[in-house]
Amino acid sequence: MKHGLACLLSAIAMLALTASIALASPPDHPIRVGILIADPEHNPGDQALVEALRELGYAAGRNIIFKYKSAEGRPELFAPLAKEIIDSGVDVLVTPANGPTMAAAKATQTIPIVMIGASDVVETGLVASLARPGKNITGLAINAAEIAAKRVQLLQEAVPRLSRIAVLWNASIRSMALGFQNIEQASPKLGIALQSVRVSGSDEFGQAFAAVEDGHPDGLIVLFGPLRGDDLPRIVDFVVRHKIPTIFEVGRGISGGGLMEFGPNLEPMFRRAAVYIDKIANGADPATLPVEEPTQFELAINLKAAKAMGIEIPQSLLLRADRVVE
């Protein structure tokens, strides 16, 4: 109930924020925007961010300067790269996902941070509340714990015989733990037995895969993150070889042969981030800019994978899919 009220207050505040966009214009001096990403191959929104800033009157090299840093799929580089980009003298730091955001939050308590798609930001302590963040961090967040539970329902709809699922999750990440807790609560209500497959790093995948094989689940939910460069291909290859119906986050499974993806579409969130950058460039305090959560989610289904696994996806589910791979 408290979370619902926070979302409502956040939505009301965001309406006021959106209504004031037209009054703002780029400052008369170039602003320096640092962007710290995890992996360029899984960062779909850069162009959307640049285009949205252009629509607000910003042109690269004229009144805005971008400074990119990428961890190249190596999460251990988040902390040093965050320090490096902050030391370079940026006015705003943009951080897609939890890893870069957490690293940036530890590196500075003064430079404004605009997060994109960070998970469970109140529960993990990144902000005090959605309506009033209270620190130097604001932007776009995801209630990943609730989304995780929704994936159980979707997987059950896709695989009617589903009675036992395994969950692959990174026990070292607080948002992953919250997601698993929600799945743990939702599964018994749906008559589904749960197998927890905990990992803390890439070197534990072999043991994790063996545990999944031994458990003989009817389906798998992947919550693992942040990912190293070869983590995702290893997971996808495993589920494809063993024909395990698996649901991933958006953009993290279907292209390699996985069955389903569900989650928020990140591209609109990158566009919305431009609004925050513009407001901060014009003097707004990130502590008072409400955090926005997405209301639109994307469901993708791979019919080719379903056929290979001997699964017939119900028409009712296909009609709700935003993207179908045949």
Across the beta sheet with 164-170, what order do the strands follow? 193-199, 164-170, 219-222, 246-248, 260-264, 297-302, 323-325
The whole domain housing 307 covers 145-263+298-325
pLDDT of residue 7: 41
Tell me, yes or no, whether 175 and 308 share the same domain. Answer: yes
Tell me, yes or no, whether 91 and 236 share the same domain. Answer: no
Tell me, yes or no, whether 208 and 239 share the same domain. Answer: yes
Tell me, yes or no, whether 129 and 169 share the same domain. Answer: no
Tell me, yes or no, whether 7 and 139 share the same domain. Answer: yes
Closest CA to 305 of 214, 232, 263, 242: 242
pLDDT, tens digit, 9 for 90 and up, residues 67-100: 999 988 788 899 999 999 999 999 999 999 888 9
CATH assignment at residue 58: 3.40.50.2300
- Please count the structural domains in the chain: 2
Tell me, yes or no, whether 71 and 193 share the same domain. Answer: no
- pTM score of the predicted model: 0.83
The structure tokens listed for 48 are 């959307």
pLDDT, tens digit, 9 for 90 and up, residues 276-285: 999 999 999 9
Across the beta sheet with 64-70, what order do the strands follow? 64-70, 31-37, 92-96, 113-119, 137-142
The structure tokens listed for 248 are 């991933």
pLDDT of residue 3: 43
Lowest-pLDDT choice from 180-184, 198-202, 277-281: 198-202
Tell me, yes or no, whether 215 and 288 share the same domain. Answer: no
Residues 69 and 265: their CA atoms lie apart, in Å, by 23
pLDDT of residue 21: 40
Lowest-pLDDT choice from 49-58, 129-138, 144-153, 205-214: 144-153
Residues 80 and 66: their CA atoms lie apart, in Å, by 19
Read off the pLDDT of each residue in 229-233 and give the average, rounded to a whole number: 79
Question: Given a cut of 70, is residue 19 above it in pLDDT?
Answer: no
